[in-house]
Structure 1
Amino acid sequence: MEAITFRLAEIELAGLANFSLSAPIKNNKSVLLFLHGWQDNAATFSTLWQRLDADFNLVAIDLPGHGLSQSRSEDNYYHFFDYIDDLHQVILQLPVKSVCLVGHSLGAIISSCYSAAYPEHVEQLILIEGLAPVVEEPALAVQRLKQGLKSRQQYRKQRGRRKARVMVSFDEALQLRANVNGLPTACLVPVVERATVEHDGKWYWRHDHRLRCDSLYRMTLSQAQAIMSSIEVPIYSIVGSHGFPILRDNPQQKYGIKQFSQVVVAGGHHCHLEQPDVVSDCIQGFISPQRD
């Protein structure tokens, strides 16, 4: 995988690909576009790429404020729907008309919503530990708005006096991340390498602190159902046996999904890091028949 850059209307996104963006793709292999989860980065899929590289055209991005990508402007925050706009701008720069989206967590939700809006650009959806937009009861709308605004106020108050967290070594950063995710450090080396920067022998996190600000609004269940039920492409859900239980609670019926299949693999929310052989085999098995 080689480093690439996507120049969007407002910012630049860092990415990785095993093909050139500036020339037509001459093989008949599917293009897999990977979208990571909240406070992760493109490298979360690196162990999958090692197993998929020979059979697919692969491309991944760091979402704004994550990894090596630029942060949003100082007068902006991280609205969920803006990620869908970012994805659309990325896809329009690829040398193909349609892709297979592979999303984890937040990346899976972005992928689902994008597929509903732009079905002509998506062939299949592979969603790892993520599916539909996060929903809330309409009665909580005012509480959600107030909570979101309060989180922004807290960020602004702390911004002037906040000091970046200093870590004395890469190993310290790696261990901190492993503790948060409940994973062995060996699973997270590529992710933490892309998530940190070293200055004068000390290590710092790259991500934008505004990512932690709460959302100002969330969809209702009926809105999420309207989105998910309109998706025309096949959806393949890969979930961890110890991941989010709600993802295994009959989502096809809950959201009225048309073409849906699901597999449960051993592991938790980052099951693709815990079981890269199994997950890559699942991806291979789902996409290949679709192309035949």
Structure 2
Amino acid sequence: MRAFKECLLQVNDRNIAYLEYQGAGFQTEETTVKTVVFVHGWMDNAASFHKLLTIIEQQRLSWRVLVLDLPGHGHSTHKNSDHFYSFYDYIDDLHQVLVNLQAVNAFLVGHSLGALIASCYSAAFPENVAGLVQIEAHFPMAEDPIQAVSRLRKGIESRERWRNKKRRALPSFDDAITMRMRATKLDARSVRPIVERDLQSVDGQWYWRHDSKLKCESVYRMSRPHAEAVMSAISIPHMVILGRSGYGFLQDKLVLEKLHNAQVAWVDGDHHCHLESPDRVFELISELVNKN
């Protein structure tokens, strides 16, 4: 991805890392080309879009493209030791990135967690978003209010386990590849760029870069009416891309029927279908971006 420049944006006391591609015609003061912002999923990083970025390079598109490392992921700074990555804080992080990088009327493309962040942001700030593409996600994570107390307990207990856990080195780089292959059901070639961006060598040993607090459970989730209210507020052009072998709960017909304002498209692949069917996924993204 030679055309993509490694960049850092300072936000308060930390840095958010991102890749940037400036297509022909981009102007810094007033953007004359379309800006497309990619937001990755939980435990992934900007490199999880590497096949789509390669297509953008090959086609020499006129878009401005920003590909984020969410806080605690990839090359972005970890938040402080008392911060456990609330879902809602990610929405604020995205807002600060868009404002500081002058990403006016951006098209948001999110995968999994990134798709949920992008949808909530699009609902709350439609004036800042020109279009939304969600890959293997749609409604925000929600559950019955009766589970609120057990959710709170499990979340706090997971934090306590984290405090008592020591950092461990990985056996080898190849072991890291194997671990990601098992977690994602992807082949080695697909996961390698993600792993490379998430590893660091310290004194001859390999360690994950990502913040281990990311694995702590949430202490709160929306109720289903809250999630439905968010999705019904999305008024911009909206597409949901689902893998035919992806998460089953995303394919529930009763849930999909509630996506009144979204176009739903199916592609071959599992949860990381954008890495398994990159040409088709890019085609769908390009259709939405170029029509609006």
Q: TM-score, normalised by structure 2?
A: 0.92
Q: Secondary structure at the match of 1:65?
A: coil
Corresponding residue number in structure 1 for 2:28 = 23
| CA offsets 1:168-217 (integer angstroms, 9 cap, x no match) | 2x222112211221111011111111010123432111111111111111
State the match for 1:151 in structure 2.
158
Which residue number corresponds to residue 190 of structure 2? 187
1:25 deviation in Å?
5.5
Identity %: 39
1:67 aligns with 2:74: yes
Residues 1:37 and 2:44 are matched in the alignment: no
**In 1, are the aligned partners of 2:169 and 2:205 still within 8 Å (CA)?**
no
1:79 aligned onto 2:89: no
Q: Is the 8 A contact 1:136 1:218 kept in 2?
A: yes
Distance 1:156 1:236 in 2: 40
Rounded Cα–Cα distance in structure 2 between residues aligned with 1:81 and 1:141: 17
- Amino acid in the other structure paired with 1:264: W
CA–CA distance in structure 2, aligned partners of residues 129 and 36 of structure 1: 11
Q: Which amino acid aligns with 2:272?
A: H
CA contact (8 A) 1:252 1:260 kept: no
Q: Indicate if the aligned counterparts of 2:112 and 2:136 stay in contact, CA closer than 8 A.
A: yes
Aligned in 2, Cα 1:221/1:97: closer, same or farther, shift over 3 Å?
same
1:258 to partner: Cα distance: 4.5
Of 275, 278, 287, 1:276 maps to 278
Q: Distance in 1 between matches of 2:168 and 2:29?
A: 43
Q: Report the TM-score, using the length of structure 1 for normalisation.
A: 0.92
CA contact (8 A) 1:231 1:258 kept: no
CA distance, structure 2, for counterparts of residue 83 and residue 109 of structure 1 = 10
Q: List gaps (5 residues or longer) in structure 1.
A: none
8 Å contact 2:35–2:104 — kept in the other structure? no
Give the root-mean-square deviation of aligned CA atoms: 1.7
Q: 1:252, CA displacement in angstroms? A: 4.8
| Partner SS state of residue 164, structure 2 | helix
- Please list the CA deviations of residues 140-168 of structure 1 after superposition, one character each: whole Å capped at 9, or x if unmatched: 1111111111111111122xxx1323232
Matched, 1:259 2:261: yes
CA contact (8 A) 1:41 1:66 kept: yes
Q: Kindly tell me: are residues 62 and 157 of structure 1, through their superposed partners in 2, closer, same or farther at Cα, counting changes over 3 Å?
A: same
Partner of 1:125: 132
Structure 2 distance, partners of 1:281, 1:114, is: 24
For these two proteins, the number of residue pairs brought into alignment is 283
In structure 2, list runs of 5 or more residues that go unmatched: none
Q: Contact (CA 8 Å) 1:100, 1:125: kept in 2 or not?
A: yes
Distance (whole Å) between structure 1 residues aligned to residue 219 and residue 167 of structure 2: 26
